[in-house]
Amino acid sequence: MAEKTRYTDEELEEFRAIILDKLEVTKRDYKKVMDELSKGNENGVDDTSPTFHALEEGSEAQSKAQLIQLAVRAQKFIQGLQAALVRIDNKTYGICRETGKLIPKERLRAVPHATLCIEAKQHRK
């Protein structure tokens, strides 16, 4: 029996549903992070002691940096998921870009935007 070279249309639709769900959740999370970042300094600590204000600013800067990092990660994940949808449309989804073999379904369910099989991913390290 010949080795399977691509996923069936039904299998691709299963992956599309997984990706669309993850995309919806990630876009919602991204929006929350961006809303939080756009709030700026609305803490109302202007009338508190200078020491507390300095500590608050340091904590706020760290929180803002963490929010920016979350936003960048979410944006990258969204782009990866959107690219996966394009691969589904092109019927190339789930094919390792280095080995040309099918990426196992278990991997794609866990990492739906994966473009490398585990073997290829480990070989790159």
Residue 115's pLDDT band (cuts 50, 70, 90): very high
pLDDT at 63: 86
Each residue's pLDDT tens digit, 16-25: 999 999 999 9
| pLDDT of amino acid 16 | 98
Over residues 24-68, the pLDDT tens digits come to: 999 999 999 999 888 864 554 444 455 555 545 556 667 888 999
Structure confidence at residue 91 (pLDDT): 96
DSSP string, 63-125: HHHHHHHHHHHHHHHHHHHHHHHHHHHTT-TTB-TTT-SBPPHHHHHHSTT--S-HHHHHHH-
Q: What is the pLDDT of residues 59-113, one digit of tens each?
A: 666 788 899 999 999 999 999 999 999 999 999 999 999 999 999 999 999 999 9
